[in-house]
Amino acid sequence: MTLQHFFDSEYPKSSNSRDIWSVIDAITNASVKVSDDLKKAALLDNVLGAQGGQNIQGEDQQKLDVIADIAFIDAFKKSGAITGIGSEENEKFVSFDTEKSKDADYVVLFDPLDGSSNIDVNVSVGTIFSIYKRLSQYGESTELKDFLQPGTEQTLAGYVLYGTSTMLVLTWGSGVHGFTLDPDTNLFILSHQDMKMPVSSRLYAMNEGNIQECEPGIASYIKYCQSHDNDYEGPYSGRYIGSLVADFHRSLIKGGIYIYPNVPAAPKGRLRLLYECNPLAFIAEQAGGLATTGRIRILEINPAELHERAPLFIGSKNMVQKAMSFLS
């Protein structure tokens, strides 16, 4: 079944369903382009490597970060259903401000290419996105308040994983569904219906290089994972790709926990609340998992700024709860 067919049969019929489809259509169009560029990256001129600048987070921008950012922004502009966007790669939000887009219902927040420092070594990366209904007045430009909504207000969220196959994983609040790109037709086909995250597993993911720098409860939890005194009575396996979207996808399918806590170099955590934590938290919860800062639910945070960061404990419900029990 194609994504469009699935959407037509499953998305609640309402006045906004055409607009939501336009947004999904824009995402698939841009992701097919990005997927093609990634596949051929080492063969194309001027695609691999660093752009030579830094994004607002102070991180080195890869050329493909910029290429993906432009591809998604163009597709969102064309969709006619989006009034403005916030992107990890742009300092400020962008209000589209055409006659049509001033009346559009939705804003998108997205990370065009998560894990992009992995591109040059041919490791999976992804696009993560989150869609909200605007709060500003119709007919006017987008305002900051449109983007600073808690994750509980998301209408739609998902990611495209550019891995051994290209997959789109989506939720609109009634389960999580996965679609695989058929490279012969460029259509996304339903391959994973109603995905459920196992409630526990013996896989943990963390940049353990940071372990001495974290609050003590985190080192104690990791010791627990590595011991014989845990619920599996034997060491868990450590798995860390360094592309959140790929690490998360593994947890969604096989179960597991991903932790990125506060560290002195990133006192509020490294990950971006609006582009990474909220969309993945919506998916995790819809699949039966959990997403917290270690102390509070990610989706209930009221963001104060566009590029806000948050610590993230995400994955299988029992594992996230267990990890939280180690924090004072």
Least distance from C-beta 47 to ligand AFP, angstroms?
16
Least distance from C-beta 63 to ligand AFP, angstroms?
13
Closest Cα to residue 115, out of 179, 166, 64?
64
State the DSSP string of 98-158: STTGGG--EEEEEEEEETGGGGGGT--EEEEEEEEE--SPTTS---HHHH---GGGEEEEE
Question: What residues have CB less than 8 Å from 256, skipping those under 6 apart?
Answer: 201, 203, 204, 205, 239, 250, 315, 316, 319
Least distance from C-beta 220 to ligand AFP, angstroms?
20
Least distance from C-beta 320 to ligand AFP, angstroms?
16
Q: For residues 71 and 244, which CB has a smaller minimum distance to ligand AFP in the complex?
A: 244
Q: For residues 3 and 271, which CB has a smaller minimum distance to ligand AFP in the complex?
A: 271
Least distance from C-beta 139 to ligand AFP, angstroms?
36
CA 43-46-52 angle, to 5 degrees, is 135
Least distance from C-beta 303 to ligand AFP, angstroms?
17
Q: For residues 243 and 293, which CB has a smaller minimum distance to ligand AFP in the complex?
A: 243
Q: For residues 123 and 324, which CB has a smaller minimum distance to ligand AFP in the complex?
A: 123
Q: For residues 20 and 158, which CB has a smaller minimum distance to ligand AFP in the complex?
A: 158
Rounded distance, CA 161 to CA 126, Å? 4
Q: For residues 116 and 166, which CB has a smaller minimum distance to ligand AFP in the complex?
A: 116
CA 309-315-321 angle, to 5 degrees, is 95
Phi, psi of 117 (to 5 degrees): -70, -10
Least distance from C-beta 265 to ligand AFP, angstroms?
8
Where do we find the tokens 């739609």? Answer: 156
Least distance from C-beta 117 to ligand AFP, angstroms?
4
End-to-end CA distance of the chain: 48
State the DSSP string of 153-180: GEEEEEEEEESSSEEEEEESSS-EEEEE
Report the 10 Å Cβ neighbour count for 162. Answer: 28
Give residues in contact with ligand AFP (CB under 6 A).
Answer: 59, 114-117, 207, 242-244, 270-271
Q: For residues 29 and 117, which CB has a smaller minimum distance to ligand AFP in the complex?
A: 117
Q: For residues 116 and 293, which CB has a smaller minimum distance to ligand AFP in the complex?
A: 116
